[in-house]
Each structure stands twice: as structure tokens, then as C-alpha cells.
Amino acid sequence: MWSPSSRTGLNLFKRKFAAHALALTALTCCLPALAADVANTGAAGANGASGLHGKPGGSGGDGQATLLSSDHLNTASAAGGIGGNGGSSFLIFPSGAGGKGGKATVDLQSAGQADFEEDTDGSAIATAIGGAGGNGGAGGAAQARGSAGEHPDLFNNTPNFSLLVNATGGKGGNGLNGGAGGASTATGNFIAPSDQATVQTTSLGGAGGSAILQGGKGGSAIAHSQYDSGGQPAFNHSNAIAIGGNGGGSSSGRNGNGGAAIATADGKRASRGEGVQVEATAKGGASGGTVNPLSPRGNGGDAYATATAAAFNLPTDASATSTAQGGDGVARGGNAVASAVSSAPVGGTAHAQATGGAGKNAGAAIATSTATNDDGFGTPMASATAISQGSFVRKVDVQAAITEPFTPEPDRFFAGTVYAQARVGDTTGILAAAPNATQNPGLVARASAPTAAEASVALAGNTTVAQTFAAGSVWALGDFGTVNSGDSAGTPVTNIFENIHATSSYTFDISGIGNPQQLTSQHLWLGLLDSDLPADSIGNFHFSIAGGGQALFDHDFTGSDFLNFFDDRVFDLGSWAALAGADGLLQLDVAFAGDVSGIEFALGTNGNAVPEPSMLMLFGAGLVGLLMARKRSPTVRLQ
């Protein structure tokens, strides 16, 4: 019987450890001999004996390394032992099960000294690698923890410090059924003043083993990075990367699912300096591939990434970037949720991008970003992008900013907050993982390519718009507006920001619909939804829609005249097929500038030719039953 042997984990550890040792030697050649190192490798599991019934392989030994050091250059590493292979069996009896890979655990605490030389840099490196499983055995888990400067008086004279924490789960063994990949967790925490510091954690889930029947599941990955300057001038960079392990393939059964990935990064500082940058990246593992077309199963792993940056006191700024990508799957792509939050006196910027994984059913994506500038300074900017690997909706993007220097007034909250969110696909299953709109005064901009249920809810109470789209489909939804502040008595104060900007764009692939020349009779419609604002509301703003290199709607609104437009009205924007480019992509761009308490809109078709029968026809179906008995209201053709 097939009984492959694998020592990949051990060899990988040896190569990585040798590379770390070489790098450390080069780093210390010009520095004082103040360094501490510790390494440990678990023993390999014994192979099982062969016989009529093969004996199981032994589990790999655990590797553990602990280092508590006050030196300024520290490394700690551990590797789990590989699991033994199960013994071969005769005739029809299955081979013995492979042993599990050993766990790897590293705990490094680097407590630097306050009397370091002023030109002495510091570093700490923690590395954990789980052992590979024997044939069919699970890979070992890996956990690495690194911390530095947990006392506020430490590293006072350290110009630069780097904390690197790496964890890699062991690979599951190949076999009749593949072993699961090992989970990995990497945590880095730096709390101390330093002229410049970097905290980076990298977590890689182990790959699932290949199989004849059931492919192994990819290991999950968790990475967390945290930095706190302790109130001293500093520039810091906090970065977390988590990548789920790929699932194992199957030659005749099911593919293994990809592992999930979770990345969180936090950065905080409380004094003057260059600022803080925070990045979080999560990528779900891919499912195993298959050579059997009768069993195309396997899901991509979900991905969640969160980045939070905070700075205090002028002239500091903060930027947060979050990226989440669901893993590709034979059956279903993984979902993705990305959120970025920044808060600073001047330069608060936040960007989030979420990409649903590809698959027979594409994964959903939600990207949310929030940027806040305090005390009336700066220009808070936020952008969010949701990307789908599906066949029709490709991308939804929204960007927003408050560009005026907003002036404080008595009894009024005046910090400026920008909230942007983009959604694509059926996001109901991951909606709870996405943040809600801030209640602080500021700008809210949202855009989505909705499901049938979402479209039905958004159009409720807008009879004219709903009837127009009933026989077609809603392609896009959007809303722009401000979250109102209140005075000390709780009385709402509207339109506190006079210069806000927001844009949203939607990209659709209509190349698979058919000959565009045959679809020119199908038109794109704009629905302006009831704003549900008081009759005395006012707003001075510009609102426009462009597509195919031409303006489709362009209007300036002043005073309260926008209430006459955003009141359940529709506009014919012309043939949508004629707006597509040579590549079959149709991009619609919506722009808003000025001030208003809130507007909502919808874009879609009123015909029967829809790109995705499995999805878009459902949009219309959700509305037909509700509106069939209602009388169609007249439409307005844009002149």
C-alpha cells in the first residue's frame, strides 16, 4: 500500500534556522556582543511496523523554546518533530495511520535595558514551525509569541527596534485520507518608546495532505501585531499577515477545504512625531484541486483582516490599511471581510479592500474603512473596495472625504469622521463581522451590488422605482450623507460639514450575456429613492453619474429642491449595452460633492434580459410578487 514519507517540515526548519543564524551573524558583527539565542527541535516519531495489519506511526515530539532576556539581540526558535509513517499492510488491509506532527511553541520576551548605547539598535525574532504529519497524519500546530519593552522606561535610547514573529503550521501527511494542516498563531507586542519600531507577525497555516478519498483541511492562521510608543516621539509600523493553509486534493473523493485566516494589527502613540502606519493582511487558503469531475467539492477559506491606527497630539498622523482575500474553492470561494480604522489630529486615512474567493459560487466581500480627524484639523479620507470573483459583478468601490477645515462651535461635537463601506455578493452570513456606521458626526458613504432581499428592502416604500425594476433587476445601491451631531441639550444639528466628497463605482462583466447589438433596447435606469428627510431640509451639492465615457446624469441641487428629485423618481439613462467597453466591462461612476443630510439611489434595468439568471433574475423575482398588483407610475426621461 502507498505509504509516502515526508520530512518537509524538518528540512524547512533547518533551512530557515540556518538563514536566521546567518542573518544574525551579519547583524552582530558591528554591535556589542549582547545577544541571546535558544532553539529546540522535537524528536521524529517512529515509523510503524509493516505486516498483515500495518502499525500506526508514532507522533512527533513537541518543540518548545522559551527565552527571557534583557539583551538587545534575541532569537528563539522551535520545530515540532515529524510524525512517523504508518506501516504497510498486505492484501486489502489499510496501511497503518501516520503519526501526528509535533507542536512547536515559542515564547520570547525581550526586556531591553534603559542604558543601551544611543546608537544601538535592537531586534527580537521568534520562529515556530509545526512538524509534518506522517501518511495521513495531521500536521503539528505552531504558536509563536514575542514581546518587547513591556515597561515604559525601557528602550529610551533605542533608535530602532524590530520585532519579528513567525509561525508555520505543519503539513498534513498524504494518504488514503489526507491529514489536516496544522494551525498557526503568531503574536507580537511592543510597548516602549523608540525612534522607529517595526512589529511584524506572519502566520502560515499548514497545508492539508493529498488523498485518494478525503483531502486534508488546510490549517487556520492567526496573526496579531500591536505597538504602543508609550507616549514618546516615534514612528512605528505594525504589520500582521495571516495566510490559511491550502486544502489537500483528492483523486476520487472530496477535496479538503482551505484554512481560514485572521489578521489584526494595532498601532498607537501618544506624542509628536512622524506618525503610525498599520497594515493587516489575511488570505484564506485554497481548496484542494480534483481530477474527478464527479466530485467537484471543496471550499476556499474565509479571510478577516482588521487594522487600527491611533495617534494623539499635533502634528502626528495615522494610516490604516486592511486587505482580506477569500481563498479560491472548487465548490465555493471564501468570504472576505476587511476593516480599517484610523484616528489622528491631522492626517487620518483608512483603506480597506475585500476580495471574495473564486469558485462555482463566488465568495462575498465587505470592505469598511473609517477615518477620523480631531479638533477640526486635517482631511479625513476613507476608501473601501469589494471585489468579486463571480461572472457578473466584478467590483464595487466607494471613497469619501471631508475636505473643509471644520471649525469647532460651542456645545457641538466637531471631530470629523468618514465612514465608507463597499459590499458585493450575498453578505448576510458575514454581515455581523463588519463594523456599523459610526455615530460620530461625519460622512457616511456606502455602495453595494445587492441580492434580491437587499434590493427589496432598499426599495420598500418607493413604488415607482420598485415597479420600474420589477421586470428587470437592481444592479447597484448607494447612499451618501452625514451623521448629524447634537448640541449639549440633545437637539440635532444638521449639515455641519459644508464640503464633503464621495464617489462610488460599479464594474459589471456583460461579456457573457450575448451579442450587445441585440440588447440595445435594454436600458439602464436610475432610481432616486425617498430621502425621508424633513420638508425644511436643505442641501447644496452636485450629483452625477457617468458610464462608457459619457455623462448619464448631471445635476446641481440647491436649497430644498433635491427633495423634489429624491422622492421615488426614475430616469432613463439609455442603453446599457452601448456603455460597455471592448472587454465587455461596464463601469458606472457616481460622484457627489457638497453637503446634504442624506440621499439614496439605485441603478438597474427594467427589461427581461439579465446577465445572471441564477442571481439577477432573483432580484426581479423578489419584487414581482410584491408589486404585481400595483399600478405602474409614469417615468421621467432625462433630457
**pLDDT band with cut points at 50, 70 and 90 for residue 579:** confident
pLDDT for position 272 = 58
Judge if 65 and 143 occupy the same domain: yes
Judge if 83 and 122 occupy the same domain: yes
Judge if 358 and 480 occupy the same domain: no
Whether 368 is covered by a domain: the verdict is no
Tell me the residue ranges of DSSP E strands in 295-392.
303-311, 317-325, 336-344, 347-355, 365-373, 381-387
Nearest by Cα to 199 from 326, 309, 353: 309
Nearest by Cα to 385 from 313, 447, 434: 447
Whether 369 is covered by a domain: the verdict is no
pLDDT for position 275 = 76
pLDDT in tens, 18-48: 344 333 333 333 333 345 789 999 999 898 8
Task: State pTM to two decimals.
Answer: 0.86
Judge if 131 and 14 occupy the same domain: yes
H or E stretch at 561: none
pLDDT in tens, 86-125: 888 876 777 888 999 999 999 998 875 444 444 567 789 9
Is pLDDT at 633 greater than 70 in this prediction?
no
Whether 227 is covered by a domain: the verdict is yes
Average pLDDT over residues 254-263: 96
Is pLDDT at 480 greater than 50 in this prediction?
yes
pLDDT in tens, 488-509: 444 444 556 667 899 999 999 9
Whether 26 is covered by a domain: the verdict is yes
Q: Which structural domain range is residue 428 located in?
A: 385-639
Q: How many domains does the chain contain in total?
A: 3
pLDDT for position 35 = 55
Q: Would you call 287 exposed, middle or buried from its count of C-beta atoms within 10 A (0-12, 13-18, 19+)?
A: buried
Judge if 538 and 410 occupy the same domain: yes
**Sign of the C-alpha dihedral computed for residues 94, 95, 101 and 102 taken in this order:** positive
Residues 216, 178 contacting (CB under 8 angstroms): yes
Judge if 309 and 428 occupy the same domain: no
Judge if 497 and 544 occupy the same domain: yes
Pick the range with the lowest mean pLDDT from 3-12, 166-175, 463-472, 542-551: 3-12
pLDDT for position 609 = 44
pLDDT in tens, 515-541: 555 555 678 999 999 887 777 778 889
Whether 201 is covered by a domain: the verdict is no
Exposure pattern of 402-431 as b/e (b: 16+ CB <10 Å)? beeebeeeeeebebbbbbbbbbbbbbeebe
More confident residue, 296 or 447: 447
**pLDDT band with cut points at 50, 70 and 90 for residue 69:** confident
Q: At what angle do helices 452-459 and 463-470 cross, to 10 degrees?
A: 150
| DSSP code of residue 607 | S
More confident residue, 635 or 545: 545
Average pLDDT over residues 60-74: 88
More confident residue, 236 or 368: 368
pLDDT in tens, 400-455: 998 765 555 544 445 678 999 999 999 999 999 998 886 666 789 999 999 888 89
CA 9 to centroid of chain Cα atoms: 29
Judge if 449 and 568 occupy the same domain: yes
Whether 154 is covered by a domain: the verdict is yes
Cell of 73: 539581540
Judge if 238 and 171 occupy the same domain: no
Judge if 189 and 238 occupy the same domain: no
Average pLDDT over residues 71-83: 91
Whether 377 is covered by a domain: the verdict is no
More confident residue, 435 or 220: 220
Whether 202 is covered by a domain: the verdict is no
Judge if 449 and 348 occupy the same domain: no
**pLDDT band with cut points at 50, 70 and 90 for residue 514:** low
Judge if 181 and 81 occupy the same domain: yes
